[in-house]
Chains A and B, each alone.
Chain A
Amino acid sequence: MYSAFSLLVTLFGVAALFAWLSADYLAITQLVVYVGGVLVLFLFAVMLTNKITDSEDSNPLVNVTGALPIGFGMGALLVTVAVQTPWKVLAKTTATETTSLVGNALLTEYLLPFEVASILILGALVGAVMMARKEVK
């Protein structure tokens, strides 16, 4: 439960970063889809699957000896790469609103992935309902 609420804070932070990077449409989408949809799903899953009685030993960590090197090694490697690579950064970045540009790109250049994504969502919806409901004889 605490981790779900911490995820809420993280998602809000990422949305703020998107707005900062002049990706305003993406920030709103992040809020609507993640905070409004995915997080509610997570909260329901947590509530439906937790037994209140055994909450005292909530979620012990396993494999910490294996997971710590993986996490720290991955983080150190990525940070080193990110800091040391000479990225070709634009000389001047402008903070403009990009919603109309994203809309144009979605309906012209990326039209096929857009339609495929809609079919994927339809399939995911039907599949999720099929799996989550109880069997009806």
Chain B
Amino acid sequence: MPHQEILTVGLKHFLVLSSILFAVGSFVVVSRQNAVGILIGVELILNSANINLVAFSHYVTGLVGGQVFALFVIVIAAAEAAIALAIVLSIFQNFGTIDSTQADTMRG
């Protein structure tokens, strides 16, 4: 029955979802002026990559390699968030704002 076929959640649904998440994340990264907003967009992009990794590992290989890689991605993302927010706080101390267009001292 074709109606049943549509309702089964498969690999493609996860891929489409992560594509949408990636697109939203890249839109946020480009269009936000707030530095914390840009970081939130980066987190969205990393999460979409994680969904892709885990979905492929579940539906295509059946092994756990993709999950291990997603774990490393989570680790890197946590380290990146800590460093980036420290940089944001330091920028806020120096410039009084976290507007990413205002901190342009090093612009040539």
Contact = CB atoms under 8 A, between A and B. Distances in A.
Contacts of A117: 72, 75-76
A133 to B, nearest CB: 9
Identify whether the interface residues of B are mostly helix, strand, loop, or mixed.
helix
Interface in B19-60: 19-24, 26-27, 30-34, 36-37, 39-40, 43-44, 47, 50-51, 54-55, 57-60
A14 B93 contact: no
Q: Which 8 A-B pairs have the closest CB atoms?
A: A75-B23, A71-B27, A78-B19, A82-B15, A124-B79, A67-B31, A67-B30, A132-B86
Interface of A: 3-4, 7, 10-11, 14, 17-18, 21-23, 25-26, 29-30, 33-34, 37-38, 41-42, 44-46, 48-49, 59-64, 66-68, 70-72, 74-75, 78-79, 82-83, 87-90, 93-94, 98, 101-102, 105-106, 109-110, 113, 117, 120-121, 124-125, 127-129, 131-132, 134
